[in-house]
Amino acid sequence: MSDDFIVERRSEGDRQYLEIRGTLDASRVEQLAHEGFEAICAGSSVEFRLGGVTSIDLTGALGLVALAKEAADRDVLFKIDGYPARLQILLEEQGLWSLLRREDNPSHG
């Protein structure tokens, strides 16, 4: 059986934190999108903690990029922390790594 996929969300004021554990792949990206979108709508800052991600595929990585774009569109600070090296490799191959990382230092504000 594959790893469970767990998203735990908590808030501190208008800051949202999502702790993500397990395998982030095509079969789980919808759950990530749902939780991530709710967090983006609820706060001015969202941090995705990915230290517990044991495996990630391109679809999972693209799900994070889509959430980063959604956050930028809504003027919400987006940050990733503890991401697996595979995430960077997958997104660099697609020329998308800068889209994910730029949200750590937005030009607005």
Report the CATH architecture of 6-104.
Answer: 2-Layer Sandwich (3.30)
Residue 64 has pLDDT above 80, yes or no: yes
Task: With cut-offs at 50, 70 and 90, classify the pLDDT of residue 2.
Answer: low
Q: The pTM is what?
A: 0.89
Burial class (CB in 10 A: 0-12, 13-18, 19+), 44: middle
- Cα separation of 86 and 60, whole Å? 11
